[in-house]
Amino acid sequence: DPDYSVRKMAAEAMGEIGTEVAIDRLIKSLDDPDYSVRKMAAEAMGEIGAEATIDPLIKLLDDPDLSVRGRAAEALGKIGTEMAIEPLIKSLDDPESSVRERAAEALGEIGTEMAIEPLIKSLDDPESFVRGRAVSALGEIGTEMAIEPLIKSLDDEDYYVRISATEALGKIASEVAIEPLTKYLDDEDYYVRESAADALGKIGQRSHY
């Protein structure tokens, strides 16, 4: 159809149908000249979660449009495929912060230990929401390797990152984090204090098992 809005609606409909024919149509839509059609196709592929969509979505991580790259990263996280790990790690260095954020989130959803070192590196990202997402991803992976870097993130200037760090340490539930978390019961931000208390409660529960 010559109208991009119709093509966009068609891509959305194909995602809801989810058949092989629909997947083929969606893969073709990834070459559409309009970014919104490509973005909708990527989103639909994430909902379908078929293996045939993985390679096309990985290629879309290099799309010229930042919103398309971000949607491709999000879709790959939903599918949860190991094939996407290395391309998503590469996207942690994307020039656009929103893409880096989506890549960090996707790696947390996949839950791979291969992403630990790159995510730890992202704790120094200039954008606070990228740092926060990297912190959350490390909490999802749940590795003890991340404890010391996460304790460092408790000192982040941004309260959102500090909250994410307390939550991540609560998920990992290592007794090593007790003393650092205790200091944040006096944080200037109410939500950080509340989250630190909750994390300490989780560590306490785990230590009784």
Q: Alpha carbon of 37 to those of 111, 115, 121: distances in Å? A: 29, 30, 33
Per-residue pLDDT band for 24 (boundaries 50, 70, 90) equals confident
Here the tokens at position 186 are 């006096």
Side-chain half-sphere exposure of 182, counting CA atoms within 13 A:
6
Full-model pTM: 0.89
Considering only CA atoms, give the Rg of the chain: 19
> Tell me: the pLDDT tens digits for 151-187?
999 999 999 999 999 999 999 999 999 999 999 999 9
Q: Cβ(100)–Cβ(131) under 8 Å? A: no
**What is the C-alpha separation between 11 and 38, in angstroms, rounded?**
8
- Domains, the chain, with CATH or none: 1-110 (1.25.10.10), 112-209 (1.25.10.10)
Closest to 171 in 3D by CA, of 206, 134, 128: 206
Q: How many CB atoms lie within 10 A of CB 6?
A: 11
Residue scoring higher pLDDT (52 or 118): 118
Q: Cβ(119)–Cβ(137) under 8 Å? A: yes
Q: What percent of the chain has pLDDT over 70?
A: 89
Per-residue pLDDT band for 98 (boundaries 50, 70, 90) equals very high
Residues 6+ apart with CB under 8 A from 87: 58, 61, 76
Question: Which amino acid is located at 149 in the chain?
Answer: P
